[in-house]
Amino acid sequence: MSRTYRIRISESLRRHVQVDDGIQSKLEILDILPPEQTAALLERELEGAGFEQREDGQWVRADEDGVEVRVDPQASTVTVSASADTDLDITKERLIRAYAENDATTRERGRQALEDELEAEAGEREKNLQAKVTSTLEGKLGDLRRELDQISNRVTAEALKQKAASIGEVQEVSEDPETGSLTIRVKI
């Protein structure tokens, strides 16, 4: 009669995981003034909205959730990104049965299965972290769209005023914040 042995196998996985997500879009600003003048107007608005200028000429704002908004005033592009990282430390144990005390094959098979489980769990956690980052970004997107639309509208309105002033004497400017319409009366 053969005896069975119960072998306890333990494996652990330590890994640093970093995930990110991001999108890029163009600000909808009409070409009313030369690009450098439009960029200057945009920079003024960005400063008012809490953006800071970096050495590369881009304007950046990061919030407490790690969402970074980066605007290139020259190209009128906006990049929104978020990232997160975590240290995974997962340990798993398993009891396997063998018919010999030094059954290396069974031990190796058990160890391999445990490693596969660890990899699968690490992958699952990474996916969850990715989903969390995406969700954070999505949550910010609605407010950000509105804010960027407002900035674009203000830049466009200011550009229109400057353009009007350059072609004649501005006699009257009326704005309707409800509809966003702007009426400029110019005497040429």
Partner 1 sequence: MTNTNEAQLSEPGSPARVSRSEAELLTLTRALMAPGPRYLPALRHRPRRTPRLEKIGPTAMGLLQQTLARGVAFELLRRGGWQTRRTLVNGHAKRGTVWQRHRELPPLTFGPASFELLSWLRAEDVSSPKRELPQAARTTLADELLYYLAAEQIVRAGGVLRQPAFLRSPLCQLGYADALAGDEPLPKLDLRELARGEGAIVLEALQPDLCRRWVAMERAKGERAELSVMTQIGQAQDQVLASLFSALDLVDPRRRELASFLAEAARELLARGPERRCPDHRWWIGGLDLRAPLSARQSAFAASAAFLRGVAQLGRWLDEAGVVAHFDEDYEAAQLLLSSWQYLRSAPEPTEEAQIPATILDRAIRLANQLESLHSLGQPSELP
Binding site residues, partner 1, CB under 8 A: 21-26, 28, 78, 80, 130, 133-134, 137-138, 141-142, 144-145, 148
Closer of 20 and 103 to partner 1 (Cβ): 20
The token duo for 39 is 């960029």
Minimum distance, C-beta of residue 33 to partner 1, in the bound complex (Å): 21
Closer of 112 and 135 to partner 1 (Cβ): 135
Minimum distance, C-beta of residue 36 to partner 1, in the bound complex (Å): 24
Measure CA 186 to chain center: 44
Minimum distance, C-beta of residue 61 to partner 1, in the bound complex (Å): 16
CB-based contact 17:83 (threshold 8 Å)? no
112/134 Cα distance (integer angstroms): 33
Minimum distance, C-beta of residue 28 to partner 1, in the bound complex (Å): 8
Closer of 75 and 100 to partner 1 (Cβ): 75
CB-based contact 20:133 (threshold 8 Å)? yes
- Burial class of residue 33 (count of CB atoms within 10 Å of its CB; 0-12, 13-18, 19+): buried
Q: What type of residue sits at position 82?
A: A
Closer of 11 and 45 to partner 1 (Cβ): 45
185/188 Cα distance (integer angstroms): 10
Closer of 144 and 160 to partner 1 (Cβ): 144
Three-state secondary structure call for residue 71: strand
**Nearest CA to 154 among 47, 42, 71?**
42
Minimum distance, C-beta of residue 18 to partner 1, in the bound complex (Å): 14
Minimum distance, C-beta of residue 145 to partner 1, in the bound complex (Å): 5
Closer of 123 and 168 to partner 1 (Cβ): 123
10/111 Cα distance (integer angstroms): 8
